[in-house]
Amino acid sequence: MAVVPKIDIVGHAFNGEDLLSRLTDLQVDLLMMDVSLPKMDGIDTMRMLHKKSPGLKVLAYSALSEIEYVNSMLIEGASGYLIKGGTAEEVVLAVETVMDGGCYISPLARASIDRGYKHTGKRIEGEYVGLTTREREIIRLIALEQTNTEIAAALFIGEETVKTHRKNLMQKLNVRSAAGLVKYAVDRCWV
């Protein structure tokens, strides 16, 4: 087991909302955060954390190694991405790297990124999926064959707003049609 000098755990949170509210009461140098959080997922939480505490170092800690999660967390401001199940030595290395101002990406996450390069031929930045909660709701409803009018009614927003979200989703995900959005949602088991 690794000896971990100068690391004190000062608290924990149960979900993204709890985390954001608890941070005001704690002195935190580094935050380890899962991508899969209840109520508010890690990507949305990271986005809000970056606005609230831009200097806070965050190490994503997740079982999810797919390129879109790695990239989304890093683009939203995480300082590294660690895959669960690694050794205690890897956790210490990740923490030390991030605390020294570096970016740690675990080998499993790096392999996912490398596969993404080979498969898509795109640079890592092209794989960003940092969809907002609203965008994920809309893409899911599109995949469930809802019309713009039905989506607007279900989400209590205007039909023009739905059209704008649809257009932005197509640009963000680099797809050319609603069928591309549906395929994206189905590939990720959102429907």
Cβ atoms of 36 and 27 closer than 8 Å: no
Structure tokens at 27: 């002195």
Give Cα separations from 169 to 134, 156, 164, 178, 188 (angstroms): 11, 19, 9, 10, 15
17 pLDDT above the threshold of 80: yes
**pLDDT score of 159:** 94
Give all strands (DSSP E) within the chain, no chain letters.
30-33, 57-62, 80-83, 104-105
Can you state the angle between helices 178-187 and 159-173, rounded to 10 degrees? Answer: 70
List domains and CATH numbers for the chain: 16-126 (3.40.50.2300), 131-187 (1.10.10.10)
117 pLDDT above the threshold of 70: no
Structure tokens at 175: 């797809």
**pLDDT score of 116:** 57
On the CB side of 159, how many CA atoms lie within 13 Å of its CA?
A: 5
Strand partners, 59: 32, 80
Query: Among 99-103, 118-122, 157-161, where is mean pLDDT lowest?
Result: 118-122
pLDDT category at 83 given cuts 50, 70, 90 is: very high
**pLDDT score of 95:** 92
Query: Among 115-119, 129-133, 148-152, where is mean pLDDT lowest?
Result: 115-119
